């Protein structure tokens, strides 16, 4: 048998081989794995009678109890059959053995993936998010960790051990009420806590909207360029997407679109369109609400960066403009707190919240209870509001530093946005490919995004850079923009030389 399954490795053997960093597995585990592999590869064909536990123990140099336990494990899983005649190898329908002989290397069948898998494209990596100029990343080093730790500790003091169990699927009532109170006061949202559903970030809130209100094949409208997470959610729901262009007044719906491509869902970020920074005008907001009512569509209002208004008064939500608006209001705490918190929410209309209660109970599972309870305390204590105030002042300073740097190094610079948020968008001339520039910037340790990567149909109008300043210190912005400008000039010179050489070749051919 030792010729078939091989000898077992002991600690002394490993030391002699110079492998002192990793101890061998227990002998019992090794024996089980060797026997399993011998059966799966056909070295022990179906029907083979294994040695008695006493004989195998002597041959392998282990205790009989070790072999007995190994045989019992193999029998429990179905590798062998133990009866009065002994222990025999069980025929395995999926094994590579036929008539007791190896059939050679099996050819794996081609994997059939869902169509939607091919619709996703890689746009980011985890490591990129630590680089300067990353959009959508808040100032992590300015988060009030002491206050947050205190909120967590108080939640544990009052909620444990009950908070270790499952919570309400739609979220902790204390957090739902706290969010509703904050939204009523700060964002003009008309809601009560019962309408708020807690999710694992804004992405899960978008996925939930898709699951509740659409069927595969329905049409969804998305801003173009626009938030990639919305497109991912719609792809996941097998929806047909219609890109809607964005101008200075936000989402610009063509007059005939409602009849030609009637939507079931419409995604918009009215307070601060991502990534252009446009604000959806009141006239367009009211028109969207009215047309959505007529056609039975739902508007997803993503209040992206709405808390960080830098000029004038905060812009109230679209949801609160009229009574019973067909609006699903989505938000998260990834930008206002920190991304790893993974707490978002969707505010459902009152009638919808009641109608979908049973479905939500079955679709969701309560979790992150301590974090939810701590966040409720953080909001109710006023710490959340004070933190937002500090971050608004900080981001205004950093945005001005970025504007000054862009004006100095990219003059004349066409800058989009700036009234809200943590990023600016810089338009680039068509000859300067934004994706190539981003790749070269990443090699220099910088992480702006290519504006064209946010578009369903990239073109000259979507060629640019989305430059974040939230998690980049003001003193880092000028050197970073200088590096970007140097890379852009180098690309422009190479393009000019290439065009010049092409013209010379053309003249010679003539």
pLDDT digits (tens, 9 = 90+) for 317-375: 999 999 999 999 999 999 999 999 999 999 999 999 989 999 999 999 888 999 999 99
Quick one: pLDDT at residue 497? 76
Report whether pLDDT(45) > 70. Answer: yes
Quick one: pLDDT at residue 314? 79
Quick one: pLDDT at residue 113? 78
Of the candidates 341, 403, 407, the one whose C-alpha atom is nearest the C-alpha of residue 374 is 341
Rama region for 404: left / alpha / beta (φ>0; ψ in -120 to 50; rest)? alpha
Quick one: pLDDT at residue 211? 96
Mean pLDDT of 147-159: 95
Q: Assess if CATH 3.90.1150.10 describes domain 386-507.
A: yes
More confident position, 113 or 201: 201
Report whether pLDDT(281) > 90. Answer: yes
Report whether pLDDT(43) > 70. Answer: yes
Quick one: pLDDT at residue 391? 96
Quick one: pLDDT at residue 21? 57
More confident position, 434 or 94: 434
Quick one: pLDDT at residue 437? 96
pLDDT class of 111 with cuts at 50, 70, 90:
confident
Quick one: pLDDT at residue 80? 93
Mean pLDDT of 283-308: 94
pLDDT class of 97 with cuts at 50, 70, 90:
very low
CA 371 to chain centroid: 19
**Sheet strands (E) in 273-317:** 298-302
> Residues 388-444: pLDDT tens digits?
999 999 999 999 999 999 999 998 889 999 889 999 999 999 989 999 999 999 999
Percent with pLDDT over 70 in the chain: 91
More confident position, 209 or 419: 209
Report whether pLDDT(86) > 80. Answer: yes
Strand order through the sheet with 240-247: 196-199, 344-347, 327-332, 298-302, 265-268, 219-224, 240-247, 250-251
pLDDT class of 101 with cuts at 50, 70, 90:
very low
Structure tokens, 423? 């990023």
**Sheet strands (E) in 91-195:** 97-98, 101-102
Quick one: pLDDT at residue 12? 67
CATH says 140-384 is which class?
A: alpha beta
Report whether pLDDT(126) > 70. Answer: no
Range with the poorest average pLDDT among 72-81, 258-267, 312-321: 312-321
Quick one: pLDDT at residue 462? 94
Omega into 275 within 30° of 0, i.e. cis? yes
For the chain, domain boundaries: 1-94, 140-384, 386-507
Report whether pLDDT(124) > 70. Answer: no
Residues 447, 449, 451: CA angle, nearest 5 degrees:
160
Cα separation of 460 and 289, whole Å?
31
Quick one: pLDDT at residue 54? 93
Q: What is the mean pLDDT of the chain?
A: 90
pLDDT class of 182 with cuts at 50, 70, 90:
very high
CATH entry, 1-94, from 1.10.357.10, 3.30.540.10, 1.10.10.10, 1.20.272.10: 1.10.10.10
What is the model's pTM? 0.84
Report whether pLDDT(57) > 60. Answer: yes
Report whether pLDDT(473) > 90. Answer: yes
Alpha-carbon dihedral angle through residues 50, 55, 57, 60, given to the nearest 10 degrees: -80
pLDDT class of 106 with cuts at 50, 70, 90:
low
Cα separation of 432 and 386, whole Å?
42
């Amino acid at each position: 048998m030792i010729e078939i399954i091989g000898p077992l490795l002991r600690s002394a053997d490993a030391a002699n081989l110079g492998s002192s960093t990793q101890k061998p597995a227990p002998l019992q585990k090794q024996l089980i794995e060797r026997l399993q592999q011998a059966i799966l590869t056909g070295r022990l064909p179906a029907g083979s009678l294994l040695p008695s536990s006493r004989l195998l123990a002597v041959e392998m140099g282990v205790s009989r109890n070790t072999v007995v336990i190994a045989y019992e494990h193999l029998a429990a899983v179905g590798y062998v059959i133990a009866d009065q005649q002994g222990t025999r190898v069980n025929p395995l329908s999926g094994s590579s053995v036929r008539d007791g002989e190896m059939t050679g290397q099996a050819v794996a069948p081609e994997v059939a993936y869902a169509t939607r898998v091919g619709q996703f494209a890689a746009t980011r990596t985890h490591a990129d998010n630590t680089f300067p100029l990353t959009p959508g990343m808040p100032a992590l080093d300015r988060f009030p960790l002491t206050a947050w730790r205190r909120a967590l500790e108080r939640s544990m003091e009052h909620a444990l051990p009950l908070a270790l169990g499952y919570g309400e699927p739609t979220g902790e009532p204390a957090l739902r009420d706290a969010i509703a109170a904050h939204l009523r006061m700060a964002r003009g949202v008309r809601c009560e806590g019962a309408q708020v559903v807690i999710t694992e970030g804004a992405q899960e809130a978008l996925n939930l909207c898709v699951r509740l209100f659409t069927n595969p094949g329905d049409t969804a409208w998305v801003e173009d360029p626009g938030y990639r997470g919305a497109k991912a959610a719609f792809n996941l729901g097998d929806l047909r997407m219609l890109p809607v262009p964005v101008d200075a007044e936000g989402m610009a719906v063509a007059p005939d679109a409602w009849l030609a491509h009637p939507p079931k869902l419409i995604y918009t970020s009215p307070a601060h369109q991502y990534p252009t920074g446009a604000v959806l005008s009141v006239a367009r907001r009211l028109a969207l609400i009215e047309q959505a009512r007529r056609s039975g569509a739902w508007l997803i209002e993503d209040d992206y960066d709405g808390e960080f208004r830098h000029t004038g008064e905060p812009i109230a939500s679209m949801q609160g403009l009229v009574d019973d608006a067909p609006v699903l209001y989505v938000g998260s705490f990834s930008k206002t707190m920190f991304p790893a918190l993974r707490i978002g929410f969707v505010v459902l209309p009152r009638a919808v919240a009641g109608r979908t209660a049973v479905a939500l109970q079955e679709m969701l599972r309560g979790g992150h209870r301590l974090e939810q309870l701590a966040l409720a305390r953080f909001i109710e204590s006023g710490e959340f509001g004070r933190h937002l105030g500090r971050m608004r002042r900080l981001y205004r300073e950093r945005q001005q530093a970025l504007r000054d740097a862009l004006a100095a190094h990219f003059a004349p610079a066409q800058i989009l946005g700036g009234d809200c948020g943590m990023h600016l968008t810089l338009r680039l001339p068509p000859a300067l490919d934004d994706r190539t520039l981003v790749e070269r910037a990443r090699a220099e340790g910088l992480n702006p995004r290519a504006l064209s990567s946010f578009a369903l149909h990239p073109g000259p109008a979507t060629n640019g850079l989305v430059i974040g300043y939230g998690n980049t210190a003001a003193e880092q912005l000028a050197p970073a923009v200088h590096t970007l400008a140097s890379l852009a000039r180098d690309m422009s010179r190479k393009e000019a030389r290439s065009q010049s050489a092409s013209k010379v070749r053309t003249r010679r051919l003539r």
